[in-house]
Every structure is written in structure tokens, then in C-alpha cells.
Amino acid sequence: MRKQQAPQHRRRRIRLAVGAPLALIASGVLAYGAAFGTFGDDAEPHAAAAPYPVPDNAMAAVAAMQPGWNLGNSLDAIPNETDWGQPRTTKTLLDSVRAQGFKSIRIPVTWSDHQGTAPNYTVDPGYMSRVKQVVDWAIADGLYVIIDVHHDSWQWTSKMSTDHAQVLARFNATWTQIATAFRNEPAQLVFESINEPQFDNADNTRKAQLLNELNTSFHKVVRASGGNNKNRLLMLPTEVCTPDQRLMDNLATTIKSLHDSRLVATVHYYGYFPFSVNVAGSTRFDPQVRGDLDTTFKRMRDTFVSQGVPVVLGEYGLLGYDHGPGAVERGEMLKYFEALGHSARTNKVTTVLWDNGSFYDRGKLRWKDAGLFRQIKSSGTTRSATASSDSVFVPKSGPVKDRSLTLNLNGATFTALTQGTTKLVSGRDYTLSGNRLTMKAATLTRLVGNRSPGVNATLQAGFSRGVPWRIQVITYDTPVQSDTTGTTASFRIPTQFRGDVLATMQARYADGGSAGPTGWTPYQQFNTAFAPDYAKKTIGLTPAFLDALKDDTRVELTFHFWSGATVTYHVTKSGSTVTGTTS
């Protein structure tokens, strides 16, 4: 595992599964209301110092944790805090996170490289002190805090089926030390038994048994440690934190057997996998992607929430966003986060955004994409309207024609179409028929001007609620590629993008078979098999893709662009040499 990489399940799963509002808590009864409290640029730091009241009712307490944020790739980094590219955590950072309106922070912690050997597995006191320092800063800021045993899950607890006694002894020793060190921390501190637990060399039945054993042992160790641990909220995960029904049923059985009203179920969700990473041609937030999301959150509600067990979505996001720019088109990504926030809110699931540095710049203390954050923020309080696309492509040559978008109103009503402070005129500049917004040819002609390639104008569709929908007007011409040679270690196709934006790539042999590492589909994975570099005017094919090709066998690549244009290219690998041609 290297910096900026997601845990293992995010790289391999084919089927997986913000902000919801701060709950309104009255008389210990959970109520999901209409607001986070102040969130984002207008927020002020929480003035009250901990400890502050924590509801006795676990469901209400978990609702008060909404929304949450992950301090990813820091204390969970291997072997040390800054080794995965994030700066050392400071109180200023946590103050800033709290000022954004977050009510909880999950602090993933990897203990492996800071422990001694058997039989005591002693945690380095300096490291324990460092974890405690960060926890105390967060609690002093008025945040609920979750700490866990994180990448240890694939480093050593995964060996439990073949090294049962040693793994269990180390797990218990680890949690005994954590529980002792934090036993007097206030109730705002929450313990999570283990992150994304997985077990090698075991069938499904055995995996369920092993996870049940870890979760119940964790529960016993923590509760026996005394102090505030006697009543502390404890989070128990499913296998790999996956929200599949079978795995959630297994966890529900474990929770029921423990007869403890202060237990919380936790799972993770990164969306329908092909969409999340842009593979198999899943580039849009279509009914299949939306259906996976809705079904998954309904399962969380039916399995846990409706039975009185609160749920923390300990991590969520899109894997493609973590792995590099452009994998998931921005408008499609906005639709995903808007729908996720709505589904979490209506199903009463508390969400904790996974952030390994992709969302919030910890050096500059600002959002890398403020518009994306506004969408995440808004989704916790209300629906926002979206559209079939956030781009209108106008060809470089030929007559400019009317262009239409389908609005997804989500219960809102359209109010205006604007360019900056200028309000476009209905009937003259655009028309609205039902949910079909049409921009007139004359208006587009004015907006594109001399039709220089790229974004010529940015519009906003305003609605009665939620955030406006940005629409970019883009001039494009069909991209042009050139012949080239390279090696399997470094191969880049010269590409004049001419204003267009790459959506995906197909790779096939002459017999129609799929070429590349993703053999089950011709559509390869964005930023894993290929990646555009618009500044350098190239599309790179990765060593992972090229190494998977047959020697001396021509591969046809079809590049699909968001304008609808396609470009065909051919590559042939011979040993370590790669030749690319347009013919």
C-alpha cells in the first residue's frame, strides 16, 4: 500500500456499495431535520469546549455526529504519519475542519509499525501519546471522534484463519492498551473495532466466524477496561465494511447477541464499482448506478436502523476521485454526491467523508473543489436539481444549432438561466418545455464568439432550492492523434484534444476479444490503464495496460470523448517496444 491508494477492497470489488443534517434531538428521540447547522464558508468554530452532553440514546448520539470527515492517509499511513503525502496533523487543521461544519472526525490509526513483539505487543508510548494528542485536539473543538485499528486489518489480522492464536492475542493486546490509554476520555470518543476486516484462506462461513470472534472480543476487552469505556459507543464493522445483505445480516446477529444498546453498525460505500472508477464504459450516473445506491442505503435502514441499531457510513466517496483527476466526469460526480446525501438523510445514516487529501487541502486549509463541497453540503439538507450534462459542446465549424439538456428537478422548480450577473431571457435566449431546457442557436453563437477550442462561457441554471447547476459551453473539433513509438515503461500518444474531453477508452484485438488487464470488458479503467494529459497534449498508456497485451498482436483503441466524438488508434507491442499508428 502506497500513499493515496485506497484500501484493498476499493481496488478489486466489482459490486460495492453528503452530509445529512445535524439531527434534532429532543428528549432522547432521534429526528433527522433540515440543517447541518452552519456549514462551509459561513461557518464559525464551535465555541463550547468538551465535554458536552452526549445523548444516552445511541441512535440520537450517532445522529449528532452528522456530518463526519476522515483524517485519511495520516495516522493510518505506513509506517509514519507523513509518509503518504499529507502534512503532520495540527490543531489548526482540526480547527479548520470543525469550522466547515463537521460534527465528527474519524481518525484512522495503523498500529503495526509502532508495536513491539509477542507476547506483549507493546505500543510505543510516544505514538500512543501522539494519537491521544490529536484526539484531544478534536474533542476540544467540539467534535465527536472515532479511532480504530486500521491497515492492521490487511497487515496481520487477515492471517487469523491460519495463525488464530497469535492474531487474537495481538488484537486483544492492542485493544487492551488503547482502551486503557483512553478509558477516561469523554463520551465523544468512539471506538471502532477494526477497519475493513478481511481473512485469507477462509470460506464465507469461516470468515463470518472469525469476524464475530474479533468483534465480540473487542467488545469484551473494552467494556472490561472500566472508566468511560463501560458505556462508550462502540462501532462494529461488516466483513471488509461491505454493505452486502449477507454480511450485514451476520453483523446484525453479532450485535443482537451482545445485548448492548451502545453498539453501532458501520459499513463503507464507494458507489457502483464500474462507475466509481470509470471502467466497463460506466461513465454516467445512470439508473443502474442510482439503483445500486438506493438499494444499498435501503438495506442499511432495513437491517439496522429500523431495528434500533444506528449506522455510521464510516467511509464514502468515489474511488476514481481518489485515484486522479478526470476519472469521473464532474457533473456525473455531482449527481452522485447529491443523490448519496439525500439517500443517507432519508434512511437516517450518518456519513463520514473519506478524505485522503483529495477533497480538503490540508496545507492551504481550503477545498480543492469548492463547488463539489457545496453540493455535498447541500445534499444533507435538501435536494438539488441537476441536468443530463454539465456541458454543451458546439462544433468548431458549421452552423451552430439549438442544444438541449434534460433537467432532473428532484422536486425543485427552475428559476433562471444566468451568465455571471446577467440573466438570460426566456423565449429569446432559451426555452423551457417541461424539464427540457433548450439554448437557442443565436445565444450559443454569441457565447462561443470566435469558437476558440475549449470553454467559451459558463452558465448557471438556478432553481427554487439547492445549489445552481453549472453549464459550460465548449467549442470542440474532433481530436487528432499522431504516430509514435515508445516502450512499455513509457508510451504516450500525441493528441490534439482541440477542446474535447476524454470519457473512456476501448481496447480490442482483431478477433474482437478484449485487450488489456481488464479482460472482462473492452472498456479499460481510467487513470489505471490510460490517462490524458491535456497540458502536454498526450494520452498515456500505463505499463499495467501495455504489459497485459499480447506480443506482436495489433490492438485497436477507440477513444470516446464527451462531445460524442470517437477516435481510433492502433498499438502493437513487441517485447518492450510499443508502436502506435493512426492507420
Closest CA to 9 of 235, 248, 268: 268
Q: Report the distance separating Cα 62 and Cα 55, nearest Å.
A: 9
Residues 575, 580, 583: CA angle, nearest 5 degrees = 135
Taking residue 87's Cβ as centre, other Cβ atoms within 10 Å add up to: 13
Taking residue 414's Cβ as centre, other Cβ atoms within 10 Å add up to: 17
What are the angstrom distances between the C-alpha of 228 and each of 133, 138, 186, 312? 18, 18, 7, 21
CB 386 within 8 A of CB 337: no
Q: Which three cell numbers stand for residue 55?
A: 445523548
Residues 528, 341, 62: CA angle, nearest 5 degrees = 110
Q: Which three cell numbers stand for residue 81?
A: 504519519
Q: Report the distance separating Cα 22 and Cα 63, nearest Å.
A: 7
The torsion defined by the Cα of 451, 453, 454 and 460, in degrees rounded to 10, comes to 10
Q: Which three cell numbers stand for residue 82?
A: 507523513
Contacts of 535 (CB under 8 A, 6+ apart): none
Q: Which three cell numbers stand for residue 446?
A: 454569441
Name the one residue in this structure whose C-alpha cell is 431535520. Answer: 33
* Residues β-bridged to residue 366: 361
CB 523 within 8 A of CB 504: yes
Q: Report the distance separating Cα 541 and Cα 529, nearest Å.
A: 6
Q: Which three cell numbers stand for residue 107?
A: 481518525
Say which of 185, 192, 196, 239 is annotated catalytic: 196
What are the angstrom distances between the C-alpha of 510 and each of 72, 550, 569, 574? 44, 12, 13, 16
Closest CA to 43 of 191, 142, 172: 142
Q: Half-sphere exposure of 3 toward its Cβ, with a 13 Å CA cutoff?
A: 13
Say which of 185, 192, 239, 315 is annotated catalytic: 315
DSSP letter, residue 375 = H
Q: Report the distance separating Cα 111 and Cα 31, nearest Å.
A: 37
Residues 17, 23, 25: CA angle, nearest 5 degrees = 140
Does residue 196 carry a catalytic annotation? yes
Q: Report the distance separating Cα 113 and Cα 48, nearest Å.
A: 36
3-state SS class at 49: coil
Q: Report the distance separating Cα 211 and Cα 246, nearest Å.
A: 13
Residues labelled as active-site residues:
196, 315
